[in-house]
Amino acid sequence: MINRRKTRPVYVGNVKIGDGAPIVVQSMTDTKTHDIEATLNQINRLAKAGCEIIRVAVPREEDALALQEIVKNSPIPVIGDIHFSPRIAFLSLESGIHGIRLNPGNINDKGKIKEILQECKKKNIAVRLGVNSGSLEERLLEKYGYPSAEALAESALYWSEFFESVGFTNFKVSIKGSDVLQNIKANKIFAEKTDIPLHIGITEAGPAGRGSIKSAVGIGILLYEGIGDTVRVSLTADPEEEIKVVYQILQALDLRRKGVEIVSCPTCGRIEVNLPEVVKKVEEKLEAVDKPLKVAIMGCVVNAIGEAKEADIGLACGNKSAILFKKGVPIKRVSEEEMVEELLNEIQRMDNE
């Protein structure tokens, strides 16, 4: 069991973040936000995949003007991602949006930031206070020489105190760097000093394969330490891929369960079936199943009996055949040709139960 850090609640629309709420899964669209149809199509696909809050880029006026329609039709709360421009921020706040993300470091005008926060308070709009290694304030770069973990944490604490000093508390903080160790350290420093909820992730993690590993290590370590109230995995890939990876990280740490967990052996010289092919087919077919199920697919009896007992359903393979287990009990012997279909039929039955 992971002891999660105690944080205060923040609401983005009807989604609660922090204060013991389940860790919230986020992603970001990669469409042009002013292309309302394409953006809404992507939001709908992401929501179906398990995304609970969506962020959209708002670089220009035409994007801010599109928000109203997007917010009205989105099945999940929408956060506008705003950089540099207070004008775009004010325009976005008129749309009914549920949250905005601001990096105060790249607006760097306390008067304007205060005005934005007052407007957010009036309209009950949450803010994500972002600190990124790529947009740290000059004074901290001068003080530390580079965007160190200490510099990132100091920036986040400084702006959090500023937000609170103007009476604004409905915010969470993200401290992101692409360096995993720096990211972990910065979040830990911040987490020890406040109860403000944290949005965690490794920014610009890279393409799907490498980026998922980097994210799993960085996010996984923080989550294991109890840090993190909402997560985004940032990949140079389809955002739907990000959602899958977040859930796999959360599932591995037993923090949230969604869909099928597959336990399969790495295979060795004892193998007598084409196990990689069986696992690939089962994984593809089960992608759409939402029910949390643990499926064990093991190459031989060495570990199969133990794993099958722990799993909801499983295959213990042998010579061109397998024993199909359900809740630890062998229910039938199946040939190599029929094992995928038999397993899927049984899972279908369980899904309907």
CA atoms of 142 and 195, how far apart (whole Å): 28
Smallest distance, ligand SF4 to C-beta of residue 306, A? 10
State which residue, 221 or 305, has the beta carbon closest to ligand SF4: 305
Contact between residue 256 and residue 228 where contact means Cβ atoms under 8 Å apart: no
- Supply the minimum distance, in Å, between the C-beta of residue 264 and ligand SF4: 8
Rounded CA separation 82/321 (Å): 57
3-class secondary structure, 256: coil
84-113 positions binding ligand SF4, by CB under 6 A: none
Q: Which is nearer to ligand SF4, 252 or 302 (CB)?
A: 302
Which residues, in sequence order, are CB contacts of 266 under 8 Å at separation 6+?
A: none
Among 298, 308, 339, 340, binds ligand SF4 (CB under 6 A): 298
Ranked by CB distance to ligand SF4, the top (closest) residue is 299
Distance of closest approach, residue 181 Cβ to ligand SF4, in angstroms: 33
Q: Is 321 in the site for ligand SF4 (CB under 6 A)?
A: no
User: For residues 56 and 110, what is the distance between their CA atoms, to the nearest angstrom?
Assistant: 24
Q: Using the minimum distance from each CB to ligand SF4, give the nearer residue, 175 or 300.
A: 300
Choose the stretch contacting ligand SF4; rule: CB under 6 A; options: 77-85, 125-133, 216-224, 260-268.
260-268
Residue from 300, 322, 340, 347 touching ligand SF4 (CB under 6 A): that is: 300
- DSSP class of residue 207 equals B
Write the CA distances from 216 to 26, 97, 202, integer angstroms.
15, 30, 9
Assess contact for 183 and 153: CB atoms under 8 A.
Answer: no
Q: Quick one: which of 266, 319, 329, 353 contacts ligand SF4 (CB under 6 A)?
A: 266
The annotated binding site for [4Fe-4S] cluster is made up of: 265, 268, 300, 307
Is 309 a residue that touches ligand SF4 (CB under 6 A)? no
Count of chain residues binding ligand SF4 (CB under 6 A): 12
Give min distance, CB of 272 to ligand SF4, in A.
8
Say which DSSP state 238 is in: -
Burial of 209 (0-12, 13-18, 19+ CB in 10 A): exposed
**Within 10 A of 193 (CB to CB), how many other CB atoms are there?**
12
* Kind plus residue range of the DSSP H or E element containing 49: helix 36-49
Q: Is 271 in the site for ligand SF4 (CB under 6 A)?
A: yes
Residues that bind ligand SF4 (CB under 6 A): 265-268, 270-271, 298-300, 302-304
